[in-house]
Structure 1
Amino acid sequence: MRRLLCLAMAVVLVQQVTAQQFGGNPPSLKWQQINTDTVRVIFPKGMDAQGKRVTDIVQQISRYHRSSIGPLQHKVSIVLQPQTMQSNGYVQLGPFRSEFFLTPPPSSNDVGSVNWVDQLALHEYRHVLQNNNFRKGLSKVFYYLGGELGQAALTNIAVPNWFWEGDAVVMETALSLQGRGRLPAFFNDFRALTLANKKYSFMQVRNGSYRNFIPDHYATGYMMTSYGRKHHGQTFWKDVTDDAVRYRRVFYPFSQSLKHRTGKNAAAFFKASWDEYAAAWNAAEKPAADTLTPATNTVTHYKYVYAAGDSSFIVSKSSYKKVPGFYERDAQGHETLIVRPGIGFDDYFSYRNNKLLWTESRFDARWGWKDNSVVKVFDRSSGQMQTLGMERRCFSPDLSFDGKKIVVATISLTQQYQLKLLDAETGAAIHTFPNPGNWYYTYPKFTADDQHIISAVRDQEGRMALIQQAIADGSVKILVPFGVQTIGIPSVQGEHIYFTAAFKDADNVYTLNGNEVKQVTNRPNGVQHMAVAGDHIVFSEFTADGYKLLRTALSSNTFVDHHSAWLQPDFGEGGNILDKIPAGEHQVRKYPKTHRIFNFHSWLPEIDDPEYGLFLHGENVLGTLQSMVGVRYNYNEESPSVSASLLYGAWFPYLRAGVDYRMQRYLNVNDTIQIQWNELDWYGGLSIPLNFTSGKYYRYLTLNGNYHQVTRTRSGNSKYVFRDNNIQYIDLNGSFINQRIKALQNINSHFAQSLQFRYNRSINGIPAEQLYGRLDLYLPGFSANHSIVLQGAFQQKDTSLRYAFTDYFVYARGYNKPFYEHMYKLGANYHFPIAYPDWGFANILFFNRLRGNLFYDHSVAYNFRSRQDVTYASTGGEMFFDTKLGNVLPFTFGVRYSHLLNTNPGDPLRKDRFEVIVPLQQLFNY
């Protein structure tokens, strides 16, 4: 029963997945702040303009746009992070803070063209208000009992993730000219399913799939929340969430509140909202086009396409089975892999003169919030890969027609946007274009004479235009006037310019005919990219099975710039506020890094069977100090303990210090003698976490060193007096992970290594020593989603038995721990998928995948008393169930059968063993 209770508590508390990068900024970064009664905005020196803008938007929303979620407000800290090229933001409890990653996404199709700082403020501050107003009823009780994460646990169970994000997308749409709710590409997912007549159940959409394409909770959430606002009023969701977080109905409180107020539970509400949107989508024209890519049972994306002559094309291709690659596709449909790109912040590539160009990520080895890009060039003629040696914050490279120059879109740490010309051989910058309006350039392209650059740009008001900028003098000609439509990737074909844009209800291909824009394709769903080949155009369009390549005759027609009613919602908030917000008089001051340095925020359970604990956690807003104090109980030893620890991450090594006092530990020597003692452990040390990720591999190296001072005293009625009361020892350990990227369905990486080592040794003359090492090697199996895992482990310990270090060895499956001085283990595993059920029940448990593993373990232990090597070998199988708990939380459990080939020292008569595998710790690693 206690394990079930702990599992339930773990499920409750793990809902808070922090995006915080602990110790991610170097100590040289100087932080400033704007501090008001509503918000504290924290930003690096030199970013006053962004800090003031965020403050103004937040205060405007706080004053005039809270009624639809509730009146409660608590001050929040917002940290602006300009050094990362990730485009994201988050709000969390535990501690209560928000972080904005200030680099805009390179594609306007993803989230639109609204000024990125403005959009982050609109979207993320809605999450702040949600958290503020969900501290009610039972959720408020848990706030007082468990702190901020206590509240978060209850509110994330009560309120589904689709509402959190859908409601925030509604507000970014209601308070701006655009927002994702007015973005045709945002609806590509559900519209593709509708056009293909694929209707998935609410549970399937909530839990995703390894087999089928399923829209995410952003698209689901906006569809449902916008439907609720339209049919039930502006404050409808405030009332529903009020019921839910108070737990007025204990089971399924959100769905039950919907049922009470509308007669529809969550599943029925989802169906009604989808049906309403589907009515508009089904009415769209569905012109014929030839599909070039084959039908497949696996979701496959052909996202970008370039004509390569002789009726062949260069395409990017990825699937749920295979990682992205660039392929040549000939006239007969045969595909040949050219090269696979590495890890990047953008999946775009360009092609010209038999060369492919793209960018890949480069990460600072120590500071997690510092990263850049490098330009990669692959020459098909020579088969050579070139990495332009200079790292910079850039996207979307394009090669000039003469092959001598490369243009990239760049962004500085102070949010200045520029186009730069690079030398195609060295990567050195040779020219920077003027940009007085600080427009954000996207997907620049050379004109055929290499004298101009064509690029879509976003202005500071969130409008987009297509421009032509001269290389010689920087002069600009506006080809397509600024407007609220998004503009995608241009393509230059001689004197003709083609581009994708969202002038109507779906992104389509357009061309410039003189000064007039003509429509080339008229597809019912979003067109991503195009290539002109003779009198035909080939383009990638999003479908229910991924991006597919289609072909149609090349023509152009006039059109009317018009969006249907479903793309023009009115949420009763008064419309766009971004051009009406007055600039406040804000004083910028230095932010002291010691501000609320401990910042205790939550009580959390610790579950690592057989130890269970409860700890008070703290972390400062900048994420440089973690503190913890609490109690723990070991059920095996029936031993309580108290402990406290600090981890400081602002310097190059993490610094660690702590104390652990364990009481009433005991050891049975025989049937009549029991050793009982108390143990005080003071420790300190350092860690160095390093990130060497590049190319197609994630690489992480972590080195740790700790010093322990242990004092033992007898406890209770124990008559035993320790020979060694004071022990000083060092604990040196580390790990290295090298893992190739993998596709969604791949159980493991096709090539990876994981190395762990640990060395413990007494340093005050007491004979106590232990050495441990483990290597796991991952290899491809006989099918794309199969995996071979080979394991080797070794552990050696001293034989004096004066002191025992923590045992990390993973023994042969099915056996109890043997008696030994040193031991090694070799293991072989073969993992394979069995089925993808996509089935669940009662919105409690959903089965995404069933997979198996066949194993063989062979271990040999040296018994130093008998002076013999003893073999422990086993074989068997495991079956794992990859599931989702409560429609949100990934959770894997399984069963294992082990056949013992040798005698088990703990149970000599048993040769077969069945076990249930419930890894509780995975819940806290999610």
Structure 2
Amino acid sequence: MKRKSLFVFFLFFLPLLGKAQFVDLGQDPAGLRWKQINTRDFQLIYPDYFEENAQKIANIFTALYQHTNSLAHKPIKISLIIHANGGVANGSVAWAPRKADLYTMPSQDPSDTWLEHLCVHEFRHVVQIDKVNQGLTKILYYLFGEQITIAITGLYLPMWFMEGDAVTFETAIGHLGRGRSPEFINEMKAQVLDKGIYSYFKAAIGSDKDFVPNRYTMGYFMVANARVNYGNAIWTDALNRIGRKPLSFAPFATSLKRTLRAKRDSVWNDSTFRSLFINADSVKKANTYADAKRTLYHDNFSELKQIWSREVKDIHNNFDTLPTYNKSYTNYFYPTPLPDGKVIAYKKGLQETGAFVLLDGKKEKVLTRSGVLDDPKFIYHDNQLVWVEYKPNFRWEHGGKQRLTSYDLRKGKYRYHRGQHNRFSPFAVGKNWGVVEVNEKNQAALVILDTGMKTELQRIEADRDELFIHPSYAKGKITTVVQNTNGIHLESIDPQTGKREMILPRMWYEMDNPVQYDSTLLFRASFNGNNAFYLKKQGEDSVRNILNARYGVRFPHLQPTENMLYFSFYTADGYKPGRIKTDRFSNLPLEKTYFRLADSLKKRENWQLQFQYDSIFDSRRYRKFTHLLNFHSWGPVYIDQYEGKIDGGIVVYSQNNLSTLSLAAGYIINADYPKGAWMINAAYKGIWPIFSIDLKSGQDKSASRLTAHNLKTGRLDTVGTRNRFRRTKGELTMQLPFNISRKNYSRYITPYVRYKIEAISNITSKARFFYTQRNDTLYYAPVSPDLYRISSSPNYYQMMEYGLLLGNQTYMTVQEIDPRWGQILQGGYAHTPWKKMDLGHEWWISGQFYFPGFATNHSISIYSGYQNRPKAGYYDKKILRPRGIDMYGYELTTLRTNYKLPLLFPDQHITSVLYVKRIDGGIFFDMGHDKTQRGTRNYYSYGIELNAGLHLFRLPFPITLGGRFGYETQHHSLFANLLFNIGFTI
């Protein structure tokens, strides 16, 4: 019975998990020409101008496939898509279809070179997912295709394991990796030491109330610490069990439980391990085997808490703190003093998406909000704020760029500065400006621009594989961090001659934000295992440690006129601004430390990232047209990811590697076609207009009844006819999407044209009578029921629809229910221009408006809509109705108003089934007006809504479940509705 119940549960969640994994991350510009490298292990698809780096990536993946990794698995062949045209540093692995997307723009985070780091991390995801595809899962693959593997992975494998194991791998084989980054480590260290160890559910799923380190951080410590204590088998066994027994009860947790039962006692009996704890027996007994993941979580973080407590016990924050006033987690980056004593900082947190603020004692003023920043570095110079933010492309999701951006404090003018390539880390060069620039081939340069940031004055090219990080300028020299495949070092560059001089030799420690003053260089580095400031004087070889904090210091800004250093220091409530006089600097010797956990992993993996790049792979043209189809999944359900519908049937799915053509085709059964229908749904996004088609054709039936006189008896009887026919419905839509997002607003314009047809054909009537008409009287006589009348001429209508969608709304914080400000306008016109069947015409217009409420995270929204349609009522409803009310007239008007507010952030779980993050409430008042042939009526409704944001079965997909309770005047009655929504963005 248990296995049967689990099978039903699995089938229920399969469509949802499959829907979440049909990934379309966007398209590259249509004009790109593509090439490919095809080997036994992978297919690499890349823009033709990226040949040199494509060869490098091919060498990296060849070495990774040959390495015997700690999961003891070599994955099958996969397609790797290189997106080199955009301004995003990221990566993604999907399995329906099976491919990896690599975004090659390097970030300003000092680490291993970006291409190496990116390939290593994403390769690990390929290994994880493919290792699940064994045993019964592989048999199911032949029944369902690639969607079954990722569905089983998503159902059983926690996201913290997926990302934590990938971070563990990058740390084990890399020179740096996030496991050696104090920034990465301190988020969890500060939370555990100052806030306590959160519940497993809160740590794994997150919170809207408190800052919770993400799945990368939590997962790293879970996976890495368990690997050190229990060996690699703890995770390989868990993946094996998922793949071989996907229909068993919680195979991942069951495998962990078996490992803990076999090995946990020996771990806790180890004297070195026990010495970490004040009372080891009580800590061990506090965690039982009832839930293996929770036991492992509390074991790991109890151990880490003791280790971290000892690391920070002698570190004290001996500096001044600038006052800030926030009840929730908030970061203040790069505090920069003004001549009048006020301080500008970049602020971001749970209640702020990103803003430049002015700190003045107890007051805080927002100067301007910003768009999305990859790096919070900014410069204040000559009454201007200058930084870099991501500017989307008008059309192509993979065509945006990191743009130089400025805000004039005197004029209040927000401005983007054009540039052909991605730009980073602005710095002042006298009255001019300098930036780091990286082109689409990943070639870096230092570029000097004029005062208006329009004209290029000078360019200093980096050597091959080099990246400049956080340069600054003082006394005619540019000081910068330089990263390459041999390490990270500090360098001085003379912009007049181009002469480069190494200040500190190459090493594998993080360094950034060099600040030169007088004959002294100050910078941030991770030498002591934490973020600390170091100082090197010209002419001296020694480097001194001048400032430390419990959880690290970063983002220095030196004010020479005050002999004051401003900076940010990390706390469990975010980065806070601090300052210290230069004569109060410490003078500690440089002591390079090791990273205990990272070094243990390195020994276990026993393989170092040292790529030679000496192999040259054959490359050839990749033709987009001949690779349009890529069938990856099939099965007994149809998942309409655009409409959010799930129907039964037999359907195959195709999506090509460049995500330009998505297609689903097959035979389905749903409420519209209870007898079944052939269908095809496809969308082509390879050019600026997006074309989509939705076609369904299937058998349907109806019955008709009429009254006639019996020819034999003369009686008046009711007789019937059964009709069968084929009903065909089709839509062809063309959209022209424009993304005009700017600053902290998401903005878009989407005009569209849609052709619709619905036809009734092959009509057959199975008659129970023969009828004739004489002198306006209808007579009938019973006949054999096998008599058929067939009509071959189709009855159909064709419709044209034209519409426009306009959107403008602010980015939202995790605590907001609706946008702070926003407007969404829609309008359209539809008619039947051809004379076969004239259904008249209709037009409509609607608007949704968002306003701030009376307190933080409160929201006011107003919706208004008007629709005028034919009296026959053939057209669809285009506007929303008042809640609890139905309107059927030919002229409709609606007004809906809401006030919403968060009530609670419980962060509580109910067993392992339910985790509740938040509870929201709201009140509404709606009005409606409709005009019918009988007259006009006004309707009203009002009531309350209660919603809970929750997660089921520890799955990462957020669910909103609630109820609506109200009163309506149409029937003068109470009404109630169930509210449900599931999100697939994680």
TM over 0.5: yes
Task: Flag the 1:294–1:28 CA change in 2: closer, same or farther, 3 A.
Answer: closer
Name the CA distance, whole Å, in 2 between partners of 1:305 and 1:262.
48
Secondary structure of the residue that 1:316 maps to in structure 2? strand
- CA deviations 1:420-463 (Å, max 9, x no partner) are 0011224211110132344201111111x3x11111111133x1
Alignment gaps of 5+ in structure 1 = 905-909
User: Corresponding residue for 1:763?
Assistant: 833
Task: Flag the 1:527–1:843 CA change in 2: closer, same or farther, 3 A.
Answer: farther
Task: Flag the 1:334–1:8 CA change in 2: closer, same or farther, 3 A.
Answer: same
User: Corresponding residue for 2:358?
Assistant: 328
- CA deviations 1:745-799 (Å, max 9, x no partner) are 1211111111223433212222223333321111111112011111011222212
User: What aligned pairs does 1:867-906 form with structure 2 within 5 A after superposition?
Assistant: 868-887=935-954, 888-900=956-968, 902-904=969-971
Residue pair 2:535, 2:545 contacting (<8 A) in 1 also: yes
Matched, 1:855 2:924: yes
Task: Flag the 1:7–1:249 CA change in 2: closer, same or farther, 3 A.
Answer: closer
Please report how far the alpha carbon of residue 893 of structure 1 lies from its aligned counterpart in structure 2 after TM superposition.
Answer: 1.5
User: What aligned pairs does 1:786-801 form with structure 2 within 5 A after superposition?
Assistant: 786-800=858-872
Task: Flag the 1:7–1:797 CA change in 2: closer, same or farther, 3 A.
Answer: farther
Residue pair 2:728, 2:760 contacting (<8 A) in 1 also: yes
Please report how far the alpha carbon of residue 19 of structure 1 lies from its aligned counterpart in structure 2 after TM superposition.
Answer: 5.5
Name the CA distance, whole Å, in 2 between partners of 1:34 and 1:107.
29
Query: How many aligned positions are there?
Result: 900
User: What aligned pairs does 1:491-890 form with structure 2 within 5 A after superposition?
Assistant: 491-514=515-538, 515=540, 516-532=542-558, 534=562, 536-552=564-580, 553-572=584-603, 575=606, 577-581=608-612, 583-603=614-634, 605-606=638-639, 612-614=647-649, 615-635=651-671, 638=674, 640-664=676-700, 677-713=725-761, 714=763, 717=766, 725-765=795-835, 766-768=837-839, 769-800=841-872, 804-815=874-885, 817-864=886-933, 866=934, 868-887=935-954, 888-890=956-958
Secondary structure of the residue that 1:324 maps to in structure 2? strand
Secondary structure of the residue that 2:461 maps to in structure 1? coil
- Pick from 8, 14, 18: which aligns with 1:13? 18
Task: Flag the 1:669–1:487 CA change in 2: closer, same or farther, 3 A.
Answer: farther
- Pick from 372, 397, 407: which aligns with 2:426? 397
Please report how far the alpha carbon of residue 895 of structure 1 lies from its aligned counterpart in structure 2 after TM superposition.
Answer: 0.2
Alignment gaps of 5+ in structure 2 = 262-288, 707-717, 768-788
Name the CA distance, whole Å, in 1 between partners of 2:548 and 2:703.
78
Matched, 1:299 2:329: yes
- CA deviations 1:677-724 (Å, max 9, x no partner) are 431234434222221112221112223223234321346658998998
Matched, 1:375 2:439: no
Secondary structure of the residue that 2:588 maps to in structure 1? coil
User: What aligned pairs does 1:51-450 form with structure 2 within 5 A after superposition?
Assistant: 51-66=54-69, 68-108=70-110, 113-247=111-245, 250-263=248-261, 264=289, 265-284=292-311, 285-289=314-318, 290-294=320-324, 296-309=326-339, 311-330=341-360, 332-390=361-419, 392-400=421-429, 402=430, 404-447=431-474, 449=475
- Pick from 908, 915, 920: which aligns with 2:977? 915
User: Corresponding residue for 2:786?
Assistant: none
Name the CA distance, whole Å, in 2 between partners of 1:4 and 1:899.
37
User: Corresponding residue for 2:50?
Assistant: 47
Counterpart AA for 1:899: Y
Secondary structure of the residue that 2:142 maps to in structure 1? helix
Residue pair 1:812, 1:874 contacting (<8 A) in 2 also: yes
Q: TM-score, normalised by structure 1?
A: 0.92
Q: Which moved more, 1:832-841 or 1:321-330?
A: 321-330
Task: Flag the 1:675–1:510 CA change in 2: closer, same or farther, 3 A.
Answer: farther
User: Corresponding residue for 2:265?
Assistant: none
Residue pair 2:28, 2:83 contacting (<8 A) in 1 also: no
Which of 1 and 2 has higher RCO (CA within 8 Å, sep 6+)?
Answer: 1
Residue pair 1:669, 1:675 contacting (<8 A) in 2 also: no
Residue pair 1:712, 1:722 contacting (<8 A) in 2 also: no
Name the CA distance, whole Å, in 1 between partners of 2:690 and 2:810.
27
Task: Flag the 1:176–1:437 CA change in 2: closer, same or farther, 3 A.
Answer: same
Name the CA distance, whole Å, in 1 between partners of 2:28 and 2:631.
21
Task: Flag the 1:138–1:454 CA change in 2: closer, same or farther, 3 A.
Answer: same
Name the CA distance, whole Å, in 2 between partners of 1:550 and 1:564.
27
Residue pair 2:234, 2:256 contacting (<8 A) in 1 also: no
Please report how far the alpha carbon of residue 384 of structure 1 lies from its aligned counterpart in structure 2 after TM superposition.
Answer: 4.4
Residue pair 2:10, 2:247 contacting (<8 A) in 1 also: no
Q: TM-score, normalised by structure 2?
A: 0.86
Secondary structure of the residue that 2:601 maps to in structure 1? coil
- CA deviations 1:657-680 (Å, max 9, x no partner) are 453114316599999989864312
Name the CA distance, whole Å, in 2 between partners of 1:759 and 1:616.
35
Name the CA distance, whole Å, in 2 between partners of 1:758 and 1:807.
12
Task: Flag the 1:15–1:623 CA change in 2: closer, same or farther, 3 A.
Answer: closer
Residue pair 2:519, 2:537 contacting (<8 A) in 1 also: no
Name the CA distance, whole Å, in 2 between partners of 1:760 and 1:649.
25
Cα RMSD, aligned residues only: 2.8
Secondary structure of the residue that 1:357 maps to in structure 2? strand
Give identity over the alignment, percent.
23
- CA deviations 1:80-128 (Å, max 9, x no partner) are 11111110001101110011100111232xxxx2111111111111111
Task: Flag the 1:711–1:747 CA change in 2: closer, same or farther, 3 A.
Answer: same
Name the CA distance, whole Å, in 2 between partners of 1:350 and 1:641.
62
Task: Flag the 1:176–1:576 CA change in 2: closer, same or farther, 3 A.
Answer: farther
Residue pair 1:488, 1:528 contacting (<8 A) in 2 also: no
Task: Flag the 1:781–1:279 CA change in 2: closer, same or farther, 3 A.
Answer: same
- CA deviations 1:358-379 (Å, max 9, x no partner) are 1233222112211223322333
- CA deviations 1:588-629 (Å, max 9, x no partner) are 111122344221112353376987344321011111111111
Residue pair 2:347, 2:355 contacting (<8 A) in 1 also: yes
Residue pair 2:764, 2:790 contacting (<8 A) in 1 also: no
Residue pair 1:747, 1:785 contacting (<8 A) in 2 also: yes
User: Corresponding residue for 1:459?
Assistant: 484
Residue pair 2:172, 2:598 contacting (<8 A) in 1 also: no
Name the CA distance, whole Å, in 2 between partners of 1:300 and 1:392.
32
Secondary structure of the residue that 2:600 maps to in structure 1? coil
Counterpart AA for 1:520: I
Secondary structure of the residue that 2:49 maps to in structure 1? coil
Secondary structure of the residue that 1:346 maps to in structure 2? coil
Residue pair 2:14, 2:148 contacting (<8 A) in 1 also: no
Please report how far the alpha carbon of residue 572 of structure 1 lies from its aligned counterpart in structure 2 after TM superposition.
Answer: 4.4
User: Corresponding residue for 2:785?
Assistant: none
Secondary structure of the residue that 1:238 maps to in structure 2? helix
Name the CA distance, whole Å, in 2 between partners of 1:368 and 1:39.
25
Name the CA distance, whole Å, in 2 between partners of 1:683 and 1:622.
24
Counterpart AA for 1:566: L
